[in-house]
Structure 1
Amino acid sequence: MADKIQQPPKWYSVPPEAIAQQLGVDPGKGLSADEVHQRQQKYGPNILKARRKEPGWYAFLRQYRDFMQIILVGAALLSLVITREAGTTVVLLGLTVFNAVLGLRGEAKAEASLAALEKMMKNITRVRRDGRAVEIESEGLVPGDIVLMEAGNRVPADGRLFVAANLEIEEAALTGESVASPKNTESIPRPEVPLGDRHNMAFMNTSVTRGRGEMIVTATGMETEMGHIADLLNRTRSDKTPLQKQLDRLTIIIAGMAGIAFVLMVILGLNRGDSFDTIFVAGIALAIAAIPTGLPAVVTTMYSMGTRALASLGAIVKRLPSVETLGSVSAICSDKTGTLTLNKMTAREFSIPGQNRFRVTGEGYGTQGTMELSTGMTEKQPWQKGTLSYTTEGKLLSAGGARIDLDPILLPMALCADARLDNGTLIGDPTEGALIVLAEKGGISVDGARDMYPRIAEVPFDSDYKFMATFHAMTNEDGKPVVRCFVKGAPDVLIARSSSYWMPGGGVLPAIEENRPLALKENDRMAEGGGTGDGGRPP
C-alpha cells in the first residue's frame, strides 16, 4: 500500500489504470484485509455525518426562544421580586415548562422514528477483496475498494468506472435528471465537466437501473458529492417559520398594550391613594390575563396533529414548526423534474393509431388500474384486468366476444424488458417499469409470462441503433415450435425498419408509405402532450 494516497482533482479525466496505480489496488484482486483495515483507520466509516446532536439541556432551552415563553418567565420573576408571592411565580413557570415539554416530546418521537428507519436501511455492497467477491456493509468501504454493481443496486460511494456493460444509473437525487444516465469507461479530457456529464463516474446513493459495472472507489463518506450536500445542509442555520414570526409580532403587540394598561393602572391607583402592592398585583393579573398564555400549548398541539397526519402518509417531520413552513409554501422553483418528482414513469395513454385511444389509470408502479376508452369505437373496449391470464395448459386466455384481444401487444412489454417489480418497488429502468406495469394492468402476469416463455437470446439496447430485442421459444397458431423476436425502441426507428404491422382484429398488414405517417403522427401527438406512449409488435 502506498504511504500516502493523494486524490487528483478530476477523477473523470484520469484513465482507470492510472487511478488503480495511484490508489494502490489491483482491480482484478481488490484490496487485502490489512490494507482495508489501514484505510479504515485513515478515512473513517463510509457514512454521511448528520448535524451535531444538540444536548438535551440545549433542546429544552431552545423552547424558550419563543417570545411568549420569555414574557411568561419575565412576568413570573417580576411577580416574585415585587410581591414576594411564590404561588403565582410557580404557576407561570410551570406553564412555560409544560409548553417546552410538549415541544420536546413531539421532536423526540420524530427522532426515534428516524433512528428506527436508519437501522432498517442497511445497505449491502458486493466488493472484490483478496481476489474474491464478498458482500459487506457499505459503511466498511474505503478508497481503492473494487465495487461490483448490477441492476437494482444502490451505488455505495463515489467511484471511477472501469467496467460498464449497458450500464445506466438513475441520478435524479443528485442531478435532477429524471432519465437514467448511460455510463461508459472512457476518460473525459476536459478541465471542467458538469456533474451530470461525468459518464465514467458513479456517485453515492444513486441507483443502477440497467446493466452491470465495476468501479474503483475514489471517495467515501463526507468526501463524496452527497457528502458535500450533507455538509451544506448541516451548516445551514434554520430560521423561524412564518407563523412563529407572526406570533412573535402578536406577542409584542399584546405585551405592549398590557404594559401600557399596567402603567395607567399604577398612575390612576396612586392618584386615588391605593397602596403600590395592591396596584401592582392587580396590574400583573391584568397583564397576564391579557396575554394568551395558553397559545404556545395550543400551537404545539396543532403542530403535533399536523405531524401525525403527515406520518400517516409516510412523511416524518423532525421539527414541529416545519409543518407550518411546508403549509406556507406557495411556489417551488426547480430546473429539473427529477428533483421534485418520485421519478416513477407511468403510462398514461395507450393508442391504436387510426382506431382507439385508451386512458390508463393508476399511479406509479402499482398494478391497480385499467385502460378506459377515451376516443374510438365503444364496442371495442379492451378486456379488463382481473381476467385470469394463464391456464395450467400454459395458454393465454383472452376475453373473447366483441372485446379487443390486446395480448399480442401487451406480451412484448412483459418479455422485452429487464426491469422487474418487487412488492411495488421497481428494480430496473423507469421506462421499462412503465411498460411492465401497463402489461399487468392489461391482465398479463409479467412473472408468469417470463416463466412460460424464457428468453433464449437478446440484443441489448444501444444508443446507436436505439432498440432492444429479445428472443423466446414459443409455438405458433398451428402448435409448431418457433422462436419469436420482440423488439422495443424509438418509434421512428422501429417504424422505419418495419415491413409489416399488426392490428387488433385485422391480422398482419404491409407497412407502406401511405400508412407509416399514421403511426408517426400519433407518436408526435402523444409526445407534444407530454405523455408516455409505447407499443410493441410481435413478428
Structure 2
Amino acid sequence: MMDWHQRSAAAALDALRTSADGLTGAEARRRLTEHGPNVLREGKRRTALGMLAGQFTDFMILVLLGAAVISGLIGDVVDTIAIIAIVVLNAVIGFVQEYRAERAMEALKAMAAPTATVLREGTTSVVPAAEIVPGDIVLLEAGRIAPADLRLLEAALLRLAEAPLTGESVPVEKTIAPLPEAALAVGDRKNMAFKGTTVTYGRGRGVVVATGMDTEFGRIATLLQEAEEVKTPLQRRLARFGQRLSLAVLAICAVVFAAGLARGEPPLLIFLTAVSLAVAAIPEALPAVVTISLALGARKLVGKKALVRKLPAVETLGSVTYICSDKTGTLTINRMRVEEWYCDGAVERAPASGGPWDELLLAMALSNDAGPDAAGTIVGDPTEAALYLAARDAGVEKPKEEPQFARAAELPFDSERKCMTTLHRHPAGGFISFTKGAVEAVLERSTEVLTSAGPREVRRHELIEVSERMAADGLRVLAVGLRRWAVLPASVSSESVERDLTLLGFVGIMDPPREEAREAVATCRAAGIVPVMITGDHALTARAIARRLGILDDDGAAVMTGPELAALPLEAFEERVRQVRVYARVAPEQKLKIVTALQDQGEFVAMTGDGVNDAPALKRADIGVAMGVTGTDVAKESSAMILLD
C-alpha cells in the first residue's frame, strides 16, 4: 500500500502523472487497458456441479457409498436404496447451504457505485464507475458513493460515512492536508476517500490512487475469497468416528474371513458373510439422524429469533469458548446520545432547568440542522441528531422554538475552525448567536462563563480538566457558547462573530451500550465463555464501553490497538491473544488474524458483526453470527446464523 495520505495533493498528482484538469481521453483508455476495469474480481468460482460433487468427498459418505455398492453386489437391494437415499438427501442439504454461501461476493459487488462524475481535459462528464482509472479526477457531492480510492484535492465541508470499512456509524470530516504518520488506520486517513463509502455532507474533489482489487474495498473482497471455513466440532468428530469405525469394521471382517478359511469354510461363502457383516456394522442412518436433530434445533432457534443458515452451527453454539463481537451496532445501539452534561459548574447525568441550563438546551435545539422526516424519524448528522433529541427530551423542541428564533445567518462547521455558529433573531429584539464545537476552539473564543449567579471569568485550566475527565469516559465532548447582538455585524465571518463568547457548558456524546448487552456479557462469563470486543473505534472509547459492559475489568486484561497488532508476528500474538479483551482501531484483516490466532490456540470462536469489514472474520470463525436488522447483505451471506431481532 502506497503512502498516499502522507503525500501532498501536488505530490500525488505528480506521482500519478496527471493534473488538476484530469486525464485526456486517450490516456484514460490506455490506463484502462493497463490497469483493467474498476471492478471487484471474483476468484475462480466453483460450479454448481463441483459443489454437488464435493458433497460426496467426506470420509463417512465414501464409506456409506462403498457399503451401498457392496449391498447391491450381494443382492440386498433394500439396503442399497436406503443408503443411497440417505446419502443423496445429505448431499442436497449440503449443496444448498454451500450455494447460498457463495453469494457474499455478489452482495459486496452490489455496494459499488454504478457511475462517477470525472474531470477529463477540464470537462466534467459522467462515466461508468468500471471505467475509472488511476489518475482520474473525481467530483464528490452529497449522496454519491466514492467509485475508487481517492487522495482528496478539495474538501468543502466534506463528510463521508465509512461504516462499510470501519464499522463506525459517525461520518468522518475530511481534510486535504498531508498526514505525517505512516501506519494510520483507515478511519484516521482523513485526506482520503475510499471506494464504497458514501458522501453524507458537503462536496469534494480527489485524484484516483487505486481501483478494483487494489482498493481498501478490494482488500476485503480478497480476504473474503481467501478466508477458509473451518469444520465444526461435530463435523470433525464425525469424520474421526467414520475413520475409526471403518478401520474397526475392516479389521473385524478380515478376522472373520481368516477364521472361516482356517475352519475350511468355502472362500466365496465366508467372503459374502464378512461383507454382510461389514454392511450391517455401518450406521447408514447416522447422517440422517444428525441432520434431522440439527434441523429440529434450528427450528427451535428460529422461535428465539435466530435464523440458522448452516445446520452444523446449531451444534457449534454449544462448543464456543470465545465470542468476538463488533462494538458499533452489536454491543451499542448504533445511535449517538448525550450521556453527560456540564453546566452551572457541575457535571450531571441529566439536564436541570433554569439559568444557564435553559440557554444551553435552547442552543442545542436551534444551532442544529437535524430534524424529523415524514415518518417522524430524526435525520441528519448523528451528532446533531443526538443534540436535537436531548433538547427535545428535556422539553425544548426545535419546531416550537424556531418561529420565535428565526435563523438569520450561519457559519458552517469546518475542520480548521472546529466549530459552527448560527445567528437567530431574538423575540425580545436584537439577535443571538450560538457556537458549538471542540472544547479548545470554543474556550479560546470565550471571555466568560454563564452560571446561575451570573457571568464569571473563564478558568481555562479548570474547564479543560472537566472536559478531559468526560473524554476519559469515552465521550465526545462539545462546548457550547452564545453571544448577544443589537444588530447583525456588517460581515458575518468567523473573525467578527466567533469571539467574545459566553460559555454555556459541555455535552458528552457517545454511542451507548445496549441495555441487554451487559446482561448477555455476564451470562457468557458465567458459562465460561470469554467475550472480546473488536472495533474500528478509538481505544479510549472502546475501553469505556468495555468497562460499562463488564468485558474489561481490573484483572489484568489488555487493550490492543490495530497498529500494535500489525507490528506483532502471528506467533508472538498467539502468546498474548488470551490476555486481550479489547481490540481498537483494527482493520478487517486484523479481525481475521484475531480469530485465527484463537483457533490456533484450540479455542472455538464465535464472531458477531454487521458490517462489510466483519465479513472475512464471520466466514472464518467456527460460527459467524450476523445482525438481521442492521446487518449488511455481505455480513449475512458470510455468516452461519442471523439474529432476526
TM-score w.r.t. structure 1 length?
0.68
Percentage identity across aligned positions? 30
Within 5 A, what are the aligned runs for 1:184-195? Answer: 184-186=175-177, 194=184
Give the alignment partner of residue 148 of structure 1, picking from 139, 151, 161. 139
Within 5 A, what are the aligned runs for 1:51-200? Answer: 51-81=43-73, 83-109=74-100, 115=106, 119=110, 122-129=113-120, 131-150=122-141, 153-169=144-160, 174=165, 183-186=174-177, 194=184, 196=186, 199-200=190-191
CA contact (8 A) 1:47 1:221 kept: yes
Instruction: Give the direction of change, closer, same or farther, for the CA distance of 1:257–1:432 in structure 2 (3 Å limit).
Output: farther
Within 5 A, what are the aligned runs for 1:172-321? Answer: 174=165, 183-186=174-177, 194=184, 196=186, 199-208=190-199, 211-256=202-247, 275-276=269-270, 279-280=273-274, 282-284=276-278, 286-289=280-283, 292-298=286-292, 301=295
Q: Whose Rg is larger?
A: 1
Matched, 1:351 2:372: no
Give deviations 1:270-311, integer Å, cap 9, x for gaps: 87979537734652453134862324533663696599789x
Higher mean displacement: 87-96 or 126-135: 126-135
* Distance across 1 between alignment mates of 2:400 and 2:348: 27
Determine the structure 2 residue equivalent to 1:457: 410
Instruction: Give the direction of change, closer, same or farther, for the CA distance of 1:120–1:90 in structure 2 (3 Å limit).
Output: same
Give deviations 1:151-182, integer Å, cap 9, x for gaps: 55433212222213344556565578887665
* Distance across 1 between alignment mates of 2:317 and 2:40: 25
Matched to 2:435, the amino acid is V
Unaligned runs of 5+ in 2: 484-645
Determine the structure 2 residue equivalent to 1:389: none
Matched, 1:435 2:435: no
Higher mean displacement: 92-101 or 204-213: 204-213
CA contact (8 A) 2:37 2:130 kept: yes
Give the alignment partner of residue 425 of structure 2, picking from 451, 468, 474. 474
* Distance across 1 between alignment mates of 2:360 and 2:47: 61
* Distance across 2 between alignment mates of 1:189 and 1:501: 37
* Other structure's SS at 2:56 match: helix
> Offset of 1:189 from its aligned partner?
8.1
Higher mean displacement: 99-108 or 257-266: 257-266
Higher mean displacement: 172-181 or 150-159: 172-181
Determine the structure 1 residue equivalent to 2:470: 526
Matched to 1:346, the amino acid is M
The two structures, once aligned, show a CA RMSD in angstroms of: 4.9
Matched to 2:387, the amino acid is L
Matched, 1:27 2:34: no
Instruction: Give the direction of change, closer, same or farther, for the CA distance of 1:491–1:13 in structure 2 (3 Å limit).
Output: closer
Question: More strand by proportion, 1 or 2?
Answer: 2
Matched, 1:510 2:455: yes
CA contact (8 A) 2:153 2:207 kept: yes
> Offset of 1:54 from its aligned partner?
0.5
* Distance across 1 between alignment mates of 2:279 and 2:35: 62
* Other structure's SS at 2:86 match: helix
* Distance across 2 between alignment mates of 1:308 and 1:111: 23
Matched to 1:351, the amino acid is W
CA contact (8 A) 1:459 1:470 kept: yes
* Other structure's SS at 1:228 match: helix
> Offset of 1:59 from its aligned partner?
0.5
Determine the structure 1 residue equivalent to 2:596: none
> Offset of 1:32 from its aligned partner?
5.4
Determine the structure 2 residue equivalent to 1:486: 434
> Offset of 1:205 from its aligned partner?
2.9
Determine the structure 1 residue equivalent to 2:525: none
Instruction: Give the direction of change, closer, same or farther, for the CA distance of 1:15–1:489 in structure 2 (3 Å limit).
Output: closer
TM-score w.r.t. structure 2 length?
0.58
Higher mean displacement: 268-277 or 289-298: 268-277
* Distance across 2 between alignment mates of 1:484 and 1:90: 87
CA contact (8 A) 2:159 2:172 kept: yes
Instruction: Give the direction of change, closer, same or farther, for the CA distance of 1:536–1:320 in structure 2 (3 Å limit).
Output: farther
> Offset of 1:138 from its aligned partner?
3.0
CA contact (8 A) 2:298 2:308 kept: no
* Other structure's SS at 1:487 match: strand
* Distance across 2 between alignment mates of 1:148 and 1:169: 14
CA contact (8 A) 2:250 2:278 kept: no
Instruction: Give the direction of change, closer, same or farther, for the CA distance of 1:272–1:340 in structure 2 (3 Å limit).
Output: farther
Instruction: Give the direction of change, closer, same or farther, for the CA distance of 1:293–1:281 in structure 2 (3 Å limit).
Output: farther
Give deviations 1:390-432, integer Å, cap 9, x for gaps: xxxxxxxxxxxxx99976434433544567787879764x544
Unaligned runs of 5+ in 1: 1-7, 360-372, 374-379, 383-402
* Distance across 2 between alignment mates of 1:514 and 1:26: 50
CA contact (8 A) 2:112 2:196 kept: no
* Distance across 2 between alignment mates of 1:447 and 1:35: 54
Determine the structure 2 residue equivalent to 1:365: none
Instruction: Give the direction of change, closer, same or farther, for the CA distance of 1:174–1:98 in structure 2 (3 Å limit).
Output: same
Give deviations 1:105-131, integer Å, cap 9, x for gaps: 234445569757855865553333464
* Other structure's SS at 1:65 match: coil
* Distance across 2 between alignment mates of 1:115 and 1:303: 30
* Distance across 1 between alignment mates of 2:472 and 2:459: 23
Give deviations 1:244-291, integer Å, cap 9, x for gaps: 213322333444555566567767888797953773465245313486
* Distance across 2 between alignment mates of 1:346 and 1:484: 27
Instruction: Give the direction of change, closer, same or farther, for the CA distance of 1:531–1:249 in structure 2 (3 Å limit).
Output: farther
Matched to 1:65, the amino acid is T
* Distance across 1 between alignment mates of 2:445 and 2:471: 21
CA contact (8 A) 1:110 1:316 kept: no
Instruction: Give the direction of change, closer, same or farther, for the CA distance of 1:460–1:346 in structure 2 (3 Å limit).
Output: closer
